[in-house]
Structure 1
Amino acid sequence: MREVSFIKQNKEKWLSFEKAIFNNDFKNPDELASQYIHLINDLAYAQTYYPKSKVITYLNQLAAKAFQKIYKTKRHDTNRLVGFWKTEVPLICYQFRKFIYVAFIIFFAFTFIGVISAANDGEFVRSVLGDNYVNMSLENIEKGDPVAVYKSGSNWGSFIGITINNLRVGIIAFVMGVFLGVGTLYIMFNNCIMLGSFQYFFYEKNVFWESVRGIWIHGSMEIFAIVIECAAGLILGASILFPGTHSRYTSFKMGAKTGIKILISTMPFTFAAGFLEGFVTRYSNIMPHWLSVSIILITLGIISYYYLIYPFKIQKQITQQPVLSPSQL
């Protein structure tokens, strides 16, 4: 059978199944399992006869969504909260991985703009960070403690205040995606310009390494989480711009639901970053170099693994998962 004929023959069935999956429109587990079996058969057929077709990607993603529904109806299902972070979010990140990649590309591009702007305009850092902050930082550098600002306030006060602020930034970055993604890009642009000019300022004052040791102890998770939250905002914007076969409203609801799940998944990392900034960063100038570097690498490794590597492992496990029969549900 030609690929065009294969798609035409099964298109309505796939779209109906996709709609039912997203709207939880299944009367019983038997119906879901039966549809899932048909879907896996279509996927296997496509992989055999059309190995380079985009329809394989589509069916793979749809099968992953179906598996989540089946997984949640199994009698021996584990705690829903654990399943959310262990299976559901990684599958979403795999399905929308291109948005995460694009968010990181934009992040590095905007940060680079901040660096270049600070390097070519002596007043740029002051215009971005403000005279008070720059003057305070210069005083701290002269005293031999470039990141002394992180020592102000109490441990708990800093932790709570910083965490609330970071949660607010992440929520705003996501919600602003409703403006076709432009709002999210604006939030990302502002934060990246600040980051780039901020780091160049310390580089120019010959205390770059000291700033890295202090800032990125908490910044690895904090900044990474914000990029993921911006990716969620871009997903929201894309759901409005590119509804595909769905109505724009239905597509928007799907995009919002997906984005909110990604946003929620970043919150533990945001709390961890706030804890590190409130309780650990303030001691960066007195701790051994190997310890500060280890904290940076470990925190960066954990969040990178979860969003960039672990989703591929979960997706691979699911594609290799034997099809469940109705009797197993």
Structure 2
Amino acid sequence: MREATFVKQNKDNWQRFESALQNNALESPGELSNLYLEVTDHLSYAQTFYPGSNTLHYLNSLASRAHQKIYRNKKESKNRFITFFTEEFPREFYQYQKQLLLAFLVFALFVAAGSFSAASDGAFVRSILGDAYVNMTLDNIANNDPMAVYKKMGEMEMFLGITINNVRVALMAFVFGIFAGVGTLYIIMQNAIMLGSFQYFFYEKGLLWESVRTIWIHGTIEIFVIIVAACAGLVVGKGILFPGTYSRLTSFVNGIKSGLKIVISTIPFFVVAGFFEGFVTRQTQMPDWLAILIIASSLALVLFYYVFYPIYLHRKTNNVSINRIPKTT
């Protein structure tokens, strides 16, 4: 169906719905829900056949306003905490895959930059990691226990300290998004350069595999979820720079809300990463196959939850919505 025909057929209903929302003229919550369902059907249709159009932006705005009105005073379900993580957040996160990819690419770029700088300048690693850490690690290597740093602190103390620090970094990556996303990119750059120089340091000492099979037991979740938190900051930055059909203030507020949801989603992962670092990483005597299994499982979990599952939910919702729209030509 041509866009002009689609708009002509439905614009009267959209305008009545918009007027009713503004004037609180709907007779019952059921009527509001039915109209909201109709608008979301039209929104899904527009997403499929008219991407980037003014019609799509208008319907998205209308559906958002209706959603807020429906759920503003709705009594929360006892299962809301669970459904937030299993349905609400993953479904919404689909629309931020581009920001996630950008955060990942920037992080990978600066990891490479950190490694290259460490290879080019012998003093670079010390300038990034600090003399105390480098000297301690050199002593550990001399004592045939290069990963001994993970055994210096008690399990619970390390677990709590690492978890709190990771959440702090995630919040910084999110909050610094208010500087049009540039602050978030700076946080990514810092952490990526540190990781690149850190891994090159062990490579130079002939201990790359020993470092990888140990550090990435906790680092797989930790690093990738920091990238997700950076995605939250980029969402805030996008809200400032590209408001679309919203006012800049409204777009900024929406970006803050969406970014905060993303950060909240990372907390359980940071707890798991902190547990691994506090209780598991220190078990440097574990066989390689077990370390590889933990690393591969962690990577699969993160990719499933933040990439594949949102795509699956989006396609599932889109297929259901499109099938309910009458076939027209």
Task: After superposition, give the CA deviation of every residue in 1:230-279 in whole Å (9 maximum; x if it has no partner).
Answer: 00001011111111111111111100000000000000000000000000
For 2:62 and 2:101, the matched residues in 1 are separated by 23
CA distance in 2, matches of 1:60, 1:273: 40
Cα distance in 2, alignment partners of residues 188 and 132 from structure 1: 24
SS class of match (2:244): coil
Matched, 1:31 2:29: no
State whether residues 173 and 187 of structure 1, in contact with CA within 8 Å, keep that contact through their aligned partners in structure 2.
yes
- Equivalent AA in structure 2 for residue 164 of structure 1: I
- Do the aligned residues in 1 keep the contact of 2:3 with 2:50 (CA within 8 Å)? no
Distance, in Å, in 2 between the alignment partners of 1:94 and 1:46 is: 13
Task: Give the secondary structure class of the aligned counterpart of 1:54.
Answer: coil
Deviation at 1:52, TM superposition (A): 6.7
Whether the aligned pair in 2 keeps the contact of 1:118 and 1:124 (CA below 8 Å) is yes
Q: How does 1:239-278 map to 2 (within 5 A)?
A: 239-278=239-278
Note the residue ranges of structure 2 that are not aligned, 5 or more in a row.
325-329
What does residue range 64-143 of structure 1 map to in structure 2 within 5 Å? Answer: 79-143=79-143
Shift of 1:321: 3.1
Q: Does 1:318 align with 2:314?
A: no
**CA spacing shift, 1:268–1:208, aligned 2, 3 Å:** same
Summarize the Cα distance change of 1:87–1:59 in structure 2 as closer, same or farther, 3 Å threshold.
farther
CA shift in 2, pair 1:220/1:88, >3 Å: same
Q: Percent identity?
A: 46
Structure 2 CA distance for aligned equivalents of residues 234 and 186 of structure 1: 11
Unaligned 5+ runs, structure 1: none
Shift of 1:153: 1.0
Tell me which residue corresponds to 1:234.
Answer: 234
Preserved CA contact (<8 Å) 2:180 2:241: yes
- Provide the rounded CA distance (Å) in 2 between the counterparts of 1:100 and 1:145: 37
Does the residue aligned with 2:144 lie in a helix, a strand or coil? coil
1: distance between equivalents of 2:181 and 2:220?
24
| Residue identity in the other structure for 1:254 | N
Is this contact kept in 2: 1:43–1:59, CA < 8 A? no
Distance 1:11 1:141, change over 3 A: farther
Please state how far the C-alpha of 1:3 moved relative to its aligned partner.
Answer: 3.3
User: SS state of the match for residue 196, structure 1?
Assistant: helix
Superposed CA deviations along residues 89-126 of structure 1, whole A, max 9, x for unmatched, are 11121011111111111110111111111111111101
Q: 2:320 is paired with a residue of what secondary structure?
A: coil
Q: Distance in 1 between matches of 2:62 and 2:83?
A: 17
Deviations along 1:138-158, one digit per CA (max 9) or x if unpaired, are 111122221110111111011
| Counterpart contact for 1:43–1:60, Cα < 8 Å | no
Greater than 4 Å deviation, 4+ residue runs: 4-14, 55-78
